[in-house]
Amino acid sequence: MTSVAKIGFGCVTFGREIDETTSFKLLDYAIERGISHFDTAAAYANGTSEEILGKWLRMHSAESTELTIATKILPPYTPEKISEHVSKSRERLGGNAIDLLYLHTWDETAEKIEALQTLDYLVASGAVKVIGASNYDMTQLSRALELQRENSLTRVSVVQNNFNYAVSDFSSEFREFCTTKNIETVGYSPLGAGFLTGKHKHGVEPGSRFDVIPGHQDVYFHEAAEARLQRLEAISAKSGHSQAHLALAWAMHQPKIRRILVGGRTTNHIDQALAALDHDDLTIFGD
């Protein structure tokens, strides 16, 4: 049986798709079931997700010492902007050191030595514990690691990318590279923002993430992803398992993936993810 540590809880819905009260309920439910890693970002609901998580952490100060909190900042990654964004994120999250700080997406400013030195300083000063990179490809990550090595700076030690049955930004080669370099891999969106459940089969569902952020549609609404969805539908019909269960199980049991982030709007979404931990026989997928 796979450990519950495989699951991280993503807070992208907080303040955007669900309110504070519902967010608190999900956080309470998650820790009751052993989930201890929580992932947010300054960009989620313009900081509201961080604020909600921070308020909950202050209300649960005893439990919070056992948790790890990850957040992300957007470019440009100039020294001034990095320091400003980290300061604001820390304030929203309650003032403590950020356990894991991601650069939310690659940008040319991320390869400036001044940016990498600023990240190194944040770790040395205790404001941040670990540096991560999100939405990087293997070439971008390799360059970052080389620059940090050459300049004796704190290295990126976690990478977080989109990873699910329809769309994967973690190729087998990329995962092997991360293993070789001792980089922790974190996958997000195991259900493809609902794409893999089939609920958007007849058009984007109103109020869904694809509706709230239309730019995400281009990631999934194309021939290759549609073919994977059709295949999942067939496997679901044959096995009797729901598409959501199968998609979660597939993501959670892929080799060389350290953690899968799940989110949601109800506690049922957490139960759904926990159930998928027990489904470790992937022969049904045939690939």
**Would 113 be classed as within a structural domain?**
yes
Q: What is the CATH number of the domain that holds 16?
A: 3.20.20.100
**Would 286 be classed as within a structural domain?**
no
Domain of 31, in residue numbers: 4-280
Cβ atoms of residues 166 and 225 within 8 Å: yes
**Would 192 be classed as within a structural domain?**
yes
pLDDT tens digit sequence for 2-48: 789 999 999 999 999 999 999 999 999 999 999 999 999 999 999 99
Cβ atoms of residues 166 and 191 within 8 Å: no
**Would 285 be classed as within a structural domain?**
no
Q: Which residues are CB-contacts of 37 (< 8 A; sequence separation ≥ 6)?
A: 5, 7, 8, 9, 67, 68, 70, 259
Q: Into how many domains does the chain fold?
A: 1
**Would 23 be classed as within a structural domain?**
yes
* Angle (nearest 5°) at CA 131 between 209 and 23: 35
- The b/e string for 132-161 (b: 16+ C-beta within 10 A; e otherwise) is bbbbbebebbeebbebbeeeebbbbbbbbb
pLDDT tens digit sequence for 175-190: 999 999 999 999 999 9
* Lowest-confidence pick of 59-63, 180-184, 228-232, 236-240: 59-63
**Would 184 be classed as within a structural domain?**
yes
**Would 268 be classed as within a structural domain?**
yes
pTM, full prediction: 0.94
